[in-house]
Structure 1
Amino acid sequence: MPKFLKRLHWLDILILVILAVFVAVIWVRIDGTLNYKWRWDRIPNYILRYSTKYETWVPNVLLQGFIATIRISIFASILALILGVILGIARCSTNLTVRMLARTYLEFLRNIPPIVVIFIFYFFLSEQLITALNIESWARGIARQENNAVWEFLFGDMRRFPSLVSGIIVLALFESAFVGEIVRAGIQSIPKGQHEAAKSIGMGRIDTLRYIVLPQALKKVTPPLANQFITLVKDSAIISLISVQELTFKTVELVASTRLIFEAWLTTAALYFVLCFSLSMLFRRLERKSDQR
């Protein structure tokens, strides 16, 4: 702590003071002007509650939504990375048709508001896919089984599995456009001399891409990909609009039923901050270890 204080510049201290004054002013206006009655003592019960059935503490509304957000973010990021790598490779293809199809997909998603994209994918693709694969009846069958602990650990309540899948697919398809552009930039940053050197020793285009270009490109784009993953966590709040029961959706339900407006939303903001800041610190440490090798 003393080392941290020594590193603070006078400008840092000034900014912290300004922020503290800003928070104090907002607090006074809410408490005085709006005559709002704070009820922070009720918030912990909506994070954890004691279950008389299991005789232990179990997640309540906010923590359930927080866990669902983590699940959605992990699965959506994996799918977005796979699709993004494919799109990034397609953007650098020598085939004009493949290159233009990939570019059309990327430009379409990058130049349309996220909410519009979410609804388009949800109603025209995600719902159709779930119906075609009969995922809903399959998930209900799993939910009726007694030995479904592994499924519930991975996906939560299996009765809501179709909604979870919809959210993952929609979010991954949207984020894959940005991942694809990052991967494309990484591939194009590799010097042409390496392509020519690989060609001179008899390596084909696929082998060159697999063994030489992609390993270097992915290493270069790791920082922006990490940042995109954090952005994906925050963007996951958008899928609450299609009734995916993640943290934002649960917060809306909590506010509607309890009128704990400021307490619920400030707690939700704190949970998002803890998750995103922790990921930021983790990725920063991984980058430092990668640079030291």
Structure 2
Amino acid sequence: MRVTQSMLSNNMLRNLNNSNSKLGKYQEQLSSGSKITRPSDDPVATVKGIGYRTELAKNSQYTRNMTTVNSWLDSSDDALKQVGSGLQRVQELVTQAANDTNTDEEREKIKIEIDQIRQQIRDVANTQVGDSYIFSGTKTLSPLFTSSTANSSKDDKDVPLNGNSQNVTIEVYDGVTLDVNVDGATLFRKIDNLMADVQTALNDDDALNAGTTSGTVIGNLLGDIQDGQEDALQARSVIGAKQNRADMMADRLSIQKISTTKQMSDNEDVDYEETITNLITEESIHRAALSVGGRIIQPTLVDFL
């Protein structure tokens, strides 16, 4: 095959153009820090990158969900702690009232404080996280005790409750959900009925005027109050177990984020040492091509004018 001068010139120009493209590619990689500037650079790596970004987006959402989980559990634990403290104070007051040396006036003062504790426990039962009532089961938009009930000092039992006993679940991983509440409806109904019994005992005029009988009637409630404290403590232990699992899940999400980020970096990020070396090598090749190209192009009459 006869190689003409035009063929040599065209090949030289094509090679110089390719060399310029490689130089531009390495410079763009160094400036952007990414090996992929467009999907055509590496289709396989591009598809993997999309997958990694999807995983990170899901991880970010699950991490935000974990914030909600921790808010519910922490608020529940604090609320139940207040309930336990209230019942402990009720136990002290009932122990004091069970002593028949107390006068009617002294027991009336005790009853007034117990009335306030009952209302405080009802307020705690209506604890909210954001706009959600955490002890109302899945009826998170309704308070467990209505405002009229929560502020009532009547010693009635089995007052209507708005909540239910169903679990509130939050997704924290693919196919993994956590229950973030306790059965507040059952717990607070039992405690509220207990408080009603205490109020009734202190309101019983016949018992109050019956000498030692009044102390016996009131003292008999101490066992029930102890049971109420145990119920509140049991609910706190359930919350504690859920908090431990939430902490483990948070660690899992953190580890997954680090692992996925590393994989995405290995897939896309530039190896600066290697890229700089390639750039220097390509620059040397380009200079050599320019030098050889000057020799390939034959002189013309213009060169001698």
Q: TM-score, normalised by structure 2?
A: 0.25
Q: TM-score, normalised by structure 1?
A: 0.25
Higher relative contact order (CA 8 A, sep 6+): 2
Which structure's residues are more often helix, by fraction?
A: 1
